[in-house]
Amino acid sequence: MLEHFAGKEAFHDCMNSVIGWDIGGAHLKAARLEAGRIVDVVQIASPLWLGLSELDRAFAEAKTALGSAERNAVTMTAELSDTFADRQVGVAAVAEIMSRELAPQPVLYYAGDRGFVSAERVAAHTAAIASANWHASAALAARHFADGLFVDIGSTTTDLIPIRARRVAARGVSDPERMAYGELVYAGVVRSFLMAGLRLVPFAGRWVTLMNEWFANASDVYRILGELPEGADQMATADGQPKTIEASRARLARQIGYDAKDVSAAALTQLAHFFAEAQLREITDGAYLALSRTEIDSGAPIIGAGVGRFVARKLAERLGRPYVDFDEVIPALPERRAKAADCVPACAVALLLEAS
C-alpha cells in the first residue's frame, strides 16, 4: 500500500509516531498516532475562500498543539475551494504547502485504492488524491466491520459508504459520481444553508417561502434543538452575532422574513424541527439509494462518524438497523475517542499509513 517513505524524527521520545492530516476547504483536522493509538486530535477553522493564509495560520496552530512526527499522512478536500482554478491546481498547491510546512519529515498522500504516494508522485495521481478522505475513512471502517453502511456526517456533507465483505463497496469515485449514486449528500449539521434545497416551509398554518439569502445555517437549527455538539460550530454566524439559542432564533426568523420578537420561541422551535426532519429525509434518501444496489444484510449496522453522527443514529432508527458509534471502535485514548470520531479521515490516514 505504501509507495514511498523516508526520514525519521523522535518526538516526546516516541518512535513510530504518525500525524494524519485532513485538509478541507473549511477546516483543518489532524490526529496524532503513537503506538497504535490516537493520542490527540485537533480541528481548526481554515476557510480557504478567504485565502491560503488561512491554511498557513491553521497549520501553525495545529503544529503547536501536536508537535512533529516521524511520518505524516495527508488526505484532502481543500482542492474544491474556489481559491483554486480547478482540482488539479488545488491538489498540487495543497501538497506543496504540506510538504513545505512539514519538512524535513516525509509527507505521504492518500490516493484511495492506490494507497499512499510520495510528494514526487502527487502530479501523477491527482485525480485519485482529490477528495479521497471518504475512502480512507471507509477503508478503516472495513477493518472493523464485515458489512454495514458507513455514515460520516460533518459540518457540510454526508458520506454514505457501503461496506461489503470487509471491502469498500462504493460505486462512485469522483464527486459527481458519488452524488449520483447517493454516496455523497451535501447536508451537514453546521454550514448547510437553510435556503438551499427547500423552497417552502410550514409556518403559522401555511406554506411560507424561504428568503433566498444566507440568513441562517444548519448550526442554528441544531443549536435551537439542543443537539449541536459543543465546539462543532467553528465558523462565523451569518449575521456576525453570538452563537446563542436566542441569536439562532433571530436568524431562523429572518430566513422566513420575520423578526424574532414578532413570533414565539415555540413556533421557531417547531420550524427548526422541520428543517432537521427535511435534512434527515435527504440523507435517508441517499442511504436508500446507496443500499439499493448492494446486498448488505438487514442486520448490518449503520456506522456513525463525524460531528453530526447524532443524526446518523436517527438514520439507523429510520432504516431499522442497529447503530454503532465509531468512537466505540476507533483505537484512541478514552478521553480522545469522541474527538477522533468527529475527525475520522485524519485518524484513518494515520492508522492506514502505520499499518502499510
pLDDT at 240 over 50: yes
* Inside any domain, residue 311: no
Residue with cell 429510520: 318
* Residue 139: predicted pLDDT: 98
* Inside any domain, residue 171: no
* Inside any domain, residue 183: no
* Residue 10: predicted pLDDT: 35
pLDDT digits (tens, 9 = 90+) for 181-219: 999 999 999 999 999 989 999 999 999 999 999 999 999
Residue with cell 439507523: 316
Asked if residue 342 and residue 249 are part of one domain, the reply reads no
Confidence of residue 7 (pLDDT cuts 50, 70, 90): very low
Residue 304 sits at φ, ψ, to 5 deg, of: -90, 135
Please identify, among 246, 280, 314, the residue that sits at the C-terminal boundary of a domain: 280
pLDDT at 317 over 70: yes
Please identify, among 280, 308, 340, the residue that sits at the C-terminal boundary of a domain: 280
Asked if residue 106 and residue 25 are part of one domain, the reply reads yes
Asked if residue 270 and residue 206 are part of one domain, the reply reads yes
* Inside any domain, residue 3: no
pLDDT at 283 over 50: yes
Q: Residue 91 CA to chain centroid, in angstroms?
A: 18
Asked if residue 34 and residue 129 are part of one domain, the reply reads yes
Asked if residue 335 and residue 275 are part of one domain, the reply reads no
Asked if residue 237 and residue 340 are part of one domain, the reply reads no
For residues 166-192, average pLDDT:
96
Q: Where are the alpha helices (DSSP H) in 67-103?
A: 87-102
Residue 302 sits at φ, ψ, to 5 deg, of: -85, 125
Q: How many domains does the chain have?
A: 2
* Inside any domain, residue 160: no
Round the average pLDDT of the chain to a whole number and report it: 94
Q: What percent of the chain has pLDDT over 70?
A: 96
* Residue 11: predicted pLDDT: 36
Asked if residue 127 and residue 22 are part of one domain, the reply reads yes
* Inside any domain, residue 236: yes
* Inside any domain, residue 143: no
For residues 100-108, average pLDDT:
94
Confidence of residue 3 (pLDDT cuts 50, 70, 90): very low
Asked if residue 119 and residue 48 are part of one domain, the reply reads yes
Q: What percent of the chain has pLDDT over 90?
A: 94
For residues 100-106, average pLDDT:
93
For residues 153-173, average pLDDT:
96
* Residue 157: predicted pLDDT: 97
Query: Residue 219 belongs to a domain with what CATH number?
Result: 3.30.420.190
Asked if residue 127 and residue 46 are part of one domain, the reply reads yes
Please identify, among 245, 280, 315, the residue that sits at the C-terminal boundary of a domain: 280
The residue type found at 73 is: A
Asked if residue 33 and residue 120 are part of one domain, the reply reads yes
Within 10 A of 295 (CB to CB), how many other CB atoms are there?
A: 10
d(CA 171, CA 151): 15
* Residue 209: predicted pLDDT: 97
Confidence of residue 15 (pLDDT cuts 50, 70, 90): low
Asked if residue 117 and residue 27 are part of one domain, the reply reads yes
Asked if residue 265 and residue 345 are part of one domain, the reply reads no
Helices (H) and strands (E) in the chain, counts: 11, 14
Query: Residue 113 belongs to a domain with what CATH number?
Result: 3.30.420.40
* Inside any domain, residue 293: no
- Structural domain of residue 204, as residue ranges? 200-280
